Structure 1
Amino acid sequence: MHMQFISAFAVYFIIWWITLFAILPIGLKTQAEDQDVVPGSVESAPAKFRGGRVVLLTTLVSGVIYGSWYIASTYFGIGFDSLPRILPNFD
């Protein structure tokens, strides 16, 4: 049971991390677009970084993705074994 929790958390963490990079550019307004470039920074730097919003949205979206994966694997038997094998089986 303990190992299943660790595995489930590892899968969720990987999904969360990938989702973070998909969510980061959503709604981003650069300093150049805001026409207020801080000296010493690049124009493409965010004008206002909203880290809390990004973390919350990432957590919600990755929760939906993980929940979908969990339901598909638990109730419908769809998992990694359902994917076609690209490499030959050497068993």
Structure 2
Amino acid sequence: MSLAFGIAIYFVIWWIMLFAVLPFGVRTSEEAGEASNAGFAESAPHKPKLLPKILATTILSGIVFAGIYAMMVHHVITLDDIPFFPRYEPVQEAH
């Protein structure tokens, strides 16, 4: 796996994990027992606590990326293991 490919995979995993983590612990102003500010949607989070969510996303993404990296490097799952992919014969080089 090249460095650029690894960074791209980590970036995609990070964004997916961010959207999975964002809803945790979200409360609206009404649920927090405070008045909603004018100009904001009533469903807007009261205190979104983004820094802990970003840190959690980074840690979880690192764990998921490590698993995917290990599977790719150690060939745990190959393209031949995926049932709906076509089977190709190895190419013989002419000498």
Is the pair's TM-score, using the shorter chain for normalization, greater than 0.5? yes
The 5 Å alignment of 1:2-17 reads 4-17=2-15
Structure 2 gap segments, 5+ residues each: 88-95
**Which AA in structure 1 matches 2:26?**
L
- Paired residue for 1:22, among 17, 20, 23? 20
Structure 1 gap segments, 5+ residues each: none
Q: How far apart, CA to CA, are the structure 2 residues paired with 1:5 and 1:30?
A: 41
How many pairs does the alignment contain? 87
Q: Give TM-score scaled by structure 2 length.
A: 0.78
2:84 counterpart of 1:58: no
- Once the 2 structures are TM-superposed, how far is the Cα of residue 35 of structure 1 from its aligned partner? 2.7
Q: Which residue of 1 aligns with 2:82?
A: 83
Q: How far apart, CA to CA, are the structure 1 residues paired with 2:38 and 2:55?
A: 30
Q: Which runs of 4+ in 1 moved over 6 A?
A: none
Percentage of matched positions with identical amino acids: 36
Q: How far apart, CA to CA, are the structure 2 residues paired with 1:55 and 1:71?
A: 24
Q: Which residue of 2 aligns with 1:45?
A: 44
Q: Give TM-score scaled by structure 1 length.
A: 0.81
Q: Please, what is the CA RMSD of the aligned residues?
A: 2.3
- Once the 2 structures are TM-superposed, how far is the Cα of residue 29 of structure 1 from its aligned partner? 1.3
Select the structure of larger CA radius of gyration.
2
Q: Which residue of 2 aligns with 1:73?
A: 72
**Which AA in structure 2 matches 1:56?**
L
* Cα deviation code 1:56-86 (max 9, x no counterpart): 000011111101111122124325x133326
